[in-house]
Amino acid sequence: MDADLVIRGGTVVDGTGAPGYRADVAVRGGTITEIGERLDGRRVLEADGHIVAPGFLDIHTHYDAQVFWDPELSPSSWHGVTSVVAGNCGFSIAPCREEHRDLIARTLHHVEDMSVPTLKAGIPWDFATFPEYLASVERHGTVVNFTAYIGHTALRLFVMGDEAYEREAATDDELARMAAAVREAVEAGSAGFSTTAAPTHSGDGGRPVPSRLSDLREFETLITPLGQLGQGIVEVTPGGAWPTQDLADIQLRTGVPITWTALLTRKGSTYLEDVLAQHARGIAAGARVWPQITVRPLTFRMTMADPFVFNMRPSFAALMDRPLEARLAAFGDPAWREQALSELEDSDRFFHPD
């Protein structure tokens, strides 16, 4: 029987690592059924001079809100991406109660530079739970495949309320309710669970995002449902209670696959070599942990309008939700500048002022 579609005469790069080769690709019922020569189909795409390859997966995105007003999920789809994973770093927009919508928007503004007016205008908010969020995405439709993690920050706010931003230890009842929500999300099609402990992630009012207040007990409790279900993965931005060097041990204890972000190079540092050595030891022990990497050097554009990296220091963090006039007044105050410079020079982080 003829195929529904034949992509004819392209150079096939199949993702196995094998060299590209010229071939026809036949598709029937949405599935590749044959790769060969002189194949026939009811519809033919002439691919001579083009690469024919599986769609790329963009595993680290923050399209959680954009998916509602941009079903193409640009710019990812412009570059051969056919599947995206949102909700990284613990920053999903579900689950979310009505009273926390503005708080979620302000948090996303600080950690991912999203526009609060755009979020307010573009999110339909016809959902509260994570399964309802996925159902809303499906109703609105997408051009590419879409999935998302249930994020730790949104989950904490959903269960703990405003105290998620203030209280470190969750109660046993809160842990049970959060774990149940994770299970419900994964059963509905979530990619898994995501979280962050990174010191760069400060949210509303310059405060650490809620996931940064949690401890290792909470983290392992919330990923346990994934192990019980045998599906889903955990995405982590390490630091705090779960540093990079501990991820292999956590994975072996819980049995849940972990990916973390991001493996970076730091000029004049042994960081890369140290982390790769840790990773090699974990793999040798059987740990299923994979770092994410950037495909080009990471650069920050520093402006006083958005001093993202400096926001780790108290003087800058206190200004994050202040209006422009208040920021300018602080920047012009010699006493404030002296205190801010002192905090930056005393920093043990890898970003220092010049």
Name 263's bridge partners. Answer: 293
The set of residues, in sequence order, having a beta carbon less than 8 Å from that of 174 and lying 6+ positions away, is 159, 160
pLDDT of residue 351: 62
Taking alpha carbons only, the member of 257, 320, 316, 265 closest to residue 293 is 265
Domain that holds residue 29: 3-52
Name which residue leads in pLDDT, 100 or 311: 100
pLDDT of residue 353: 61
| Residue 287, token pair as written in the block | 């740990």
Q: Are residues 183 and 151 in the same domain?
A: yes
Is residue 184 within 8 Å of 229, Cβ to Cβ?
Answer: no
Q: Are residues 44 and 60 in the same domain?
A: no
Q: Are residues 142 and 83 in the same domain?
A: yes
Q: Are residues 167 and 249 in the same domain?
A: yes
Residue 324 class from Cβ within 10 Å (0-12 exposed, 13-18 middle, 19+ buried)? exposed
DSSP 292-347: EE-SS------BTTB-TGGGGSHHHHTTTTS-HHHHHHHHT-HHHHHHHHHHHHT-
Is residue 61 within 8 Å of 119, Cβ to Cβ?
Answer: no
Residue 158 class from Cβ within 10 Å (0-12 exposed, 13-18 middle, 19+ buried)? buried
Distance, in Å, from the CA atom of 104 to the CA atom of 29, rounded to the nearest integer, reads 41
Q: Are residues 185 and 312 in the same domain?
A: no
- Binned at pLDDT 50, 70 and 90, residue 354 comes out as low
Distance, in Å, from the CA atom of 152 to the CA atom of 160, rounded to the nearest integer, reads 12
Residue 246 has pLDDT above 80, yes or no: yes
Distance, in Å, from the CA atom of 251 to the CA atom of 292, rounded to the nearest integer, reads 16
- What letter would DSSP give residue 111? H
Question: Is cis: bond before 291, omega within 30 of 0?
Answer: no
Residue 326 has pLDDT above 90, yes or no: yes
Q: What is the domain count for the chain?
A: 3
H/E stretch holding 254 reads helix 247-254
pLDDT of residue 295: 75
Domain endpoint, select from 245, 260, 293: 293
Tell me what percent of the chain is helix, strand and coil, each rounded to the nearest 5: 40, 20, 35
Q: Are residues 23 and 60 in the same domain?
A: no
Instruction: Among 102-116, 202-216, 266-280, 295-309, name the one with the lowest average pLDDT.
Output: 295-309
| Residue 115, token pair as written in the block | 């526009």
Q: DSSP 3-state assignment of 193?
A: strand
Query: Which residue type, as a one-letter code, is found at position 265?
Result: T
pLDDT of residue 272: 85
- Binned at pLDDT 50, 70 and 90, residue 347 comes out as low
Mean pLDDT of the chain: 93
Name which residue leads in pLDDT, 303 or 227: 227
Would you tell me the crossing angle of helices 334-345 and 324-331 to the nearest 10 degrees?
A: 80
Q: Are residues 219 and 71 in the same domain?
A: yes
Distance, in Å, from the CA atom of 158 to the CA atom of 114, rounded to the nearest integer, reads 21
Instruction: Among 143-157, 246-260, 302-316, name the one with the lowest average pLDDT.
Output: 302-316
- Interval 18-58: pLDDT, tens: 999 999 999 999 899 999 999 999 999 999 999 999 889 99
**Cβ count near 200 (within 10 Å):** 14
Q: Are residues 144 and 249 in the same domain?
A: yes
pLDDT of residue 305: 85
Q: Are residues 130 and 224 in the same domain?
A: yes
Q: Are residues 169 and 252 in the same domain?
A: yes
Between the two ends of the chain, the Cα-to-Cα distance in Å is: 69
DSSP 194-242: EEE--TT-B-GGGPBPGGGG--HHHHHHHHHHHHHHT--EEEEE-BTTB
Q: Are residues 158 and 252 in the same domain?
A: yes
Residue 80 has pLDDT above 90, yes or no: no
Name 192's bridge partners. Answer: 149, 233
Name which residue leads in pLDDT, 267 or 62: 62
In the chain, what percentage of residues exceed pLDDT 90? 80
CATH of the domain at 26: 2.30.40.10
pLDDT of residue 298: 73
pLDDT of residue 124: 98
Question: Is cis: bond before 75, omega within 30 of 0?
Answer: yes
- Binned at pLDDT 50, 70 and 90, residue 229 comes out as very high
Domain endpoint, select from 250, 275, 293: 293
Q: Are residues 76 and 181 in the same domain?
A: yes
In the chain, what percentage of residues exceed pLDDT 70? 97
